[in-house]
Copies of this chain bind each other. A is one copy, B any other.
Amino acid sequence: MPAAASPPAVPAPSDAPLHERTPVRVALLGCGVVGSQVANLLLEQSPDLGARVGAPLQLVGVAVRDLTRPRDGVPAELLTDDAEALVDTADIVVELMGGIEPARGLILRALARGASVVTANKQLLAEQGPVLFEAADAARADLSFEAAVAGAIPIVRPVRESLAGDQVNRVLGIVNGTTNYVLDEMTTQGMDLDDAVKRAQELGYAEADPTADVDGFDAAAKAAILASLAFHTRVSIHQVAREGIRGITSDDVDWARRTGYVLKLLAIAERTGEGVAARVHPALVPTDHPLAAVRGAFNAVFVEAEGAGPLMFYGQGAGGRPTASAVLGDVVSAARDRLIGGKGPQESAYASLPVLPSDAAVTRYQVRLEVADRTGVLAQVAGVLAEHGVSIDTVRQSEALTAPFEAEPASEPAPGAVPDEGEPVARLVITTHAAREASLAATVAALEGLEPVRQITSVLRVEGV
């Protein structure tokens, strides 16, 4: 590998007509769905974009692995398979390859030369963010990543900059469009999970292997990035507790509806007195919460800030055009910063709050269980919760769904009553007040050992109340 050339001179603001000014040179790494859109927009709209920057934006090349594959609308002479040489000619490097290597090495190479970097690589940021940010700070170069979280939705910039004078306490995000589509289809069309995933694959929302979406890996990467931004603390994907939607049944979705909730896969970042935590799991969201109205493959990020109060950012979380819009916004800002000789905000990690283990989380729960339908069982169940310090908000019994009743029943079982294998079964839906995850886990284990309990059908967290 040749030694990197010294960075090209930064073009200065000028009074010359736009097209005569020194262009800002943009290199693109990757030319997939998003990359080809970015390339086309840079080629088509370049005079317009130039006016916003104050100098022309010039696409100097597009690095691809396979030079023989035609790239829609991208002239063949711009394509190259020598990504390193391309990086060495650019003022701004746009990394849209995804994955760890060679993306990581190319970004570090660009930053070392003083080039600005725009990336949509959530995996790389969530795993190796600190390495990249330190390189950007050392080079006093911009490292921007609006497209890495919630696609087209401006969320990185508002949290980094607009809320810079506020304190974020909590972030609840629907940041994976595929799983939101799947849960929405299950809710509105009564589909089961497998059929809804198939439907999402047919529509191009889900990959042939839907693991990254369905098991929450994609959302966990975004949760790590959101938590880092919101709390000025480095949080890596390995610190994010993760549970996907694979275990969600039509019955879960149906009971959610019947008890006044909608099931959503949430990326949650929260600050407590002890530190910060990030987690991803399915959660029951009250139907009147703004997140409950986020339908189909849309994304939304709900932010609770000390001063601003509740905020929500809503839009398309994926797709070539929407993601390209976020990338271009970062390119224009990076280009402006270069012309001005300034720099966008650096990584803000000054708070360095402790990142808490996942079992420290405190949430409400909804536990559905099947019990022998006989007098006094509710008292036994309530007793187990009380023993573990888990306080009950409401209990609903069977399909009756009458008004919530007292947890204390009128009569107790006769002493020495023997369980009857054939006896009828009642269904209980218990919603708790906020409880520690560890207490709830112990409660569930104890309930499983309780004689009249036939089955713990589901345990779901309740968020946004």
User: A residues within 8 Å of B by Cβ?
Assistant: 37, 41, 45, 48-49, 51-52, 146, 152-154, 157-158, 161-167, 232, 290, 293, 305-316, 319, 321-322, 324-333, 336-337, 340-343, 345, 348, 350-351
6 of the cross-chain contacts (CB-CB < 8 Å) are A37-B307, A153-B308, A163-B329, A165-B327, A307-B328, A308-B322
Give Cα distance in the complex from A308 to B305, angstroms: 25
Q: Write out the residue numbers on chain B whose beta carbons fall within 8 Å of the beta carbon of A312.
A: 312-315
- Would you list the 5 A-B pairs with minimal beta carbon distance, nearest first? A342-B342, A165-B328, A154-B162, A307-B325, A152-B308
Q: Report the nearest B residue to A303, measured CB to CB.
A: B315
- CB neighbours (8 Å) of A305 from chain B are 152, 325
| Residue in B157, B167, B332, B348 whose beta carbon sits within 8 Å of that of A157 in the complex | B157
Q: Roughly how many angstroms separate A433 CA and B324 CA in the complex, as a whole number?
A: 33
Q: How far is the CB of A311 from chain B (nearest CB, A)?
A: 4
Known: A51-B350, A310-B314, A312-B313. 5 other contacts (CB 8 A): A41-B307, A48-B167, A161-B329, A308-B325, A333-B345
**CB-defined contacts of A337 to chain B, threshold 8 Å:** 342
* A51 and B322 alpha carbons, distance in the complex (Å): 34
Are B165 and A154 in touch, CB under 8 angstroms? no
**Given A308-B152, A308-B322, A308-B326, A333-B164 contact (CB < 8 Å):** yes
A231 shortest CB reach to chain B, Å:
12
**In contact, B329 and A309 (Cβ under 8 angstroms):** no
In the bound complex, CA of A314 to CA of B360 (Å) = 30
Give the complex CA separation of A322 and B163 in angstroms.
11
Residues of B within 8 A of A45 (CB): 167
A302 to chain B, nearest CB (A): 9
Tell me if A165 and B308 are in contact (CB < 8 A).
Answer: no
Contacts of A345 in B (CB 8 A): 333, 336
Residue on B nearest A307 in the bound complex, by CB? B325
CB distance from A328 to the nearest CB of B (A): 2
Most buried by B among A162, A319, A348: A162
